[in-house]
Amino acid sequence: MRISAVRLRVADPEGLALLYRDVLGMRVDRQGSGCRVGYNSEDADLLLLPGGGGYTHDRGQRYWKIGITVPDVDLAAAHLRALGTAVSTPSQFLDIGYMCHLADPEGFVVELLQHDFEGNKPVQVADPDAPFAQARIGQITLRTGDIAGEDAFWRAQGMSLLSMQEVAPHGFDLHFYAFTDETPPNPDLWAVENREWLWKRPYTTLEFQHLAGAQFAPVPDYQGIEVEGLAAPLKDAFGDPVLPG
């Protein structure tokens, strides 16, 4: 099994798909009235469905972002700026990762996350002319106030917990799940040394930003996750769709 897509409802699927192609280097396939965009690997796609247009990013919402992992965030950010795309200045966020952020024209947030921490990146790890050649959709990020409920649901589907990361200055922690038989280098899932390993995985992980007891609002334009190998549609611990991929 694997996460095969995150489904987002947008105002202009074809127009947005072309932006993901031309700016972030994804392929584009038409799928009914929508568009499937993604990289050519075992990571998830984005399925852009018609009918949206009212999305506004809000920290009180269940859906947060996708994360795209790349070998060199500085090169990727410079490439985006050269194309006229606004992107934040890359920086090392605590002991989590070296990253920056942008928003697509419909307001959905995209995080660019480097395989290695700041200062650990190998020399000439990416082609300056093709900074997204090794990109993957590394994370689909949701918020939760009930990590025990999320854990029980996703473990029942066959996922494994790969990493837990405390973000004490912001009052939350992060939990990463995947359909994989791989195990992190350090059996202590809180260990910092597992994080650069995690950012190099070829598959998409499901990331939960956990704020204990918090209540989050549903996002109508987030239409759920597709899982390849799932036998029948389900509802996750929050009530959002989990669909066969």
Q: 103-130 pLDDT, tens per residue?
A: 999 999 999 999 999 999 999 999 999 9
| Residue 213 belongs to domain spanning | 2-244
Output the pTM of the full model: 0.96
Average pLDDT over residues 202-223: 97
pLDDT greater than 90 at residue 1: yes
Residue 180 has a pLDDT of: 98
| 53 pLDDT above the threshold of 90 | no
Residue 187's contacts (CB-CB under 8 Å, 6 or more residues apart) are none
- Rounded CA gap, 24 and 48, in Å? 15
Separation CA 2–CA 5 (nearest Å): 9
More confident residue, 189 or 41: 189
Q: What's the pLDDT tens digit per position in 160-180?
A: 999 999 999 999 999 999 999
What is the reported pLDDT for 82? 97
Residue 140 has pLDDT above 90, yes or no: yes
Report the pLDDT value the prediction gives residue 36, as an integer from 0 to 100: 98
CA distance 184 to 193: 9
Q: Identify the band that residue 143 occupies on the pLDDT scale cut at 50, 70 and 90.
A: very high
Averaged over 56-83, what is the pLDDT? Answer: 97
Rounded Cα gap, residues 226 and 230, in angstroms: 8
CB 237 within 8 A of CB 149: yes
H helix intervals, the chain? 13-24, 73-82, 147-156, 193-199
Q: What is the pLDDT of residue 79?
A: 97
Q: Which residues contact 191 (CB under 8 A, 6 or more apart)?
A: 184, 185
Residue 54 confidence (pLDDT): 87
Report whether pLDDT(22) > 90: yes
Distance between CA atoms of 108 and 66, rounded to whole angstroms?
Answer: 9
- Output the domain CATH number for residue 235: 3.10.180.10
Structural domain count, the chain: 1
Are 146 and 136 in contact by the 8 Å Cβ rule? The answer is no
